[in-house]
Amino acid sequence: QKEVEQNSGPLSVPEGAIASLNCTYSDRGSQSFFWYRQYSGKSPELIMFIYSNGDKEDGRFTAQLNKASQYVSLLIRDSQPSDSATYLCAAPPVRGGADGLTFGKGTHLIIQP
Amino acid sequence: EADIYQTPRYLVIGTGKKITLECSQTMGHDKMYWYQQDPGMELHLIHYSYGVNSTEKGDLSSESTVSRIRTEHFPLTLESARPSHTSQYLCASSELSGGWHGYTFGSGTRLTVV
């Protein structure tokens, strides 16, 4: 059974600081990972995906993947109150599983003004 | 503008009623999905489709059924709604290579069965 684990939080970060969100996964066959942001009462929106070891940067967001340690993280620089949301980590299916992304429970991030 | 649409946005219905949640996308995506999400909980895959006339059950057992007669349309039906079906239902779509590009989600239907 593929599992994606996240600390549910809440994670409280002062405005302007770096928010660090972490995710671990159990299936060594997983090749790529997605970070979604979900505001309360809204549907998830894709903000980053990563499939290579190392870092991938997009604006204030940096995704980090370490396949040997089976974790993926998301860094948000210069955190803004509008970044307050739940961040979902997701992994795609590997052979033999149901063909849909598996999501973690999400980390609730609060940016304090 | 290419998008994915879900209707209704909110639905309150009595026990035993038959309901259909609508999902349509204008992006020409082959793969479509239904997820169920309770408040504060993770998304669970309940149905997916590779294309027309393809439907599969997801990881979470569900009493709902789906159909895919047209590429753009992927409705979900509950023949007899029960309070245990109260949840948010999210529809998503992706290209066949969705494993690399992720999903686009609709705005969701929040269902309450009383």
DSSP readout, A16-66?
TS-EEEEEEES-TT---EEEEEE-TTS--EEEEEE-SSEEEEETTEEEEEE
pLDDT at A101 over 90: no
What was the pLDDT predicted at A86? 97
What is the pLDDT at residue A99?
A: 76
d(CA A43, CA A28): 28
Question: Looking at the partner chain, which of B59, B102, B106 has a beta carbon nearest the beta carbon of A34?
Answer: B102
B33 touching A, CB under 8 A? yes
Cα-based torsion angle of the residue sequence A46, B9, B97, A51 in order, rounded to the nearest 10 degrees? 20
A79 pLDDT more than 60: yes
- Please name which of B105, B36, B18, B33 lies closest in space to residue B74, comparing C-alpha atoms: B33
Interface test with B, best of A32, A43, A102 (most B CBs within 10 A): A43
Task: Name the B residues in 90-109 with CB < 8 Å from any A CB.
Answer: 90, 98-108
**Cβ contacts of A104 on chain B, cutoff 8 Å:** 42
Within 8 A by CB and 6+ apart from B83, the residues are B15, B113, B114
Chain B hits for A34, CB-CB cut-off 8 Å, are: 102
Mean pLDDT for A20-41 is 90
CB of B41 less than 8 A from some CB of A: yes
Of A42, A46, A104, the CB nearest to B103: A46
Query: Do B105 and A43 make contact, defined as CB atoms within 8 angstroms?
Result: yes
Q: What is the mean pLDDT of residues A88-99?
A: 75
Mean pLDDT, to the nearest integer, of A32-57? 92
- Each of the 114 residues of chain B gets a pLDDT tens digit; together they read 569 999 999 999 999 999 999 999 998 899 999 999 998 888 999 999 999 999 999 888 889 999 999 999 999 999 999 999 999 999 999 876 545 567 889 999 999 999
pLDDT greater than 90 at residue A64 = yes
Mean pLDDT confidence for A29-37: 88
Answer whether residue A6 shows pLDDT above 90: yes
Which comes out higher in pLDDT, residue A30 or B110?
B110
Q: Residue A53: its pLDDT value, please?
A: 87
Q: Which residues of chain B have a CB within 8 Å of the CB of A32?
A: 99-100
Specify the pLDDT at position A27: 80
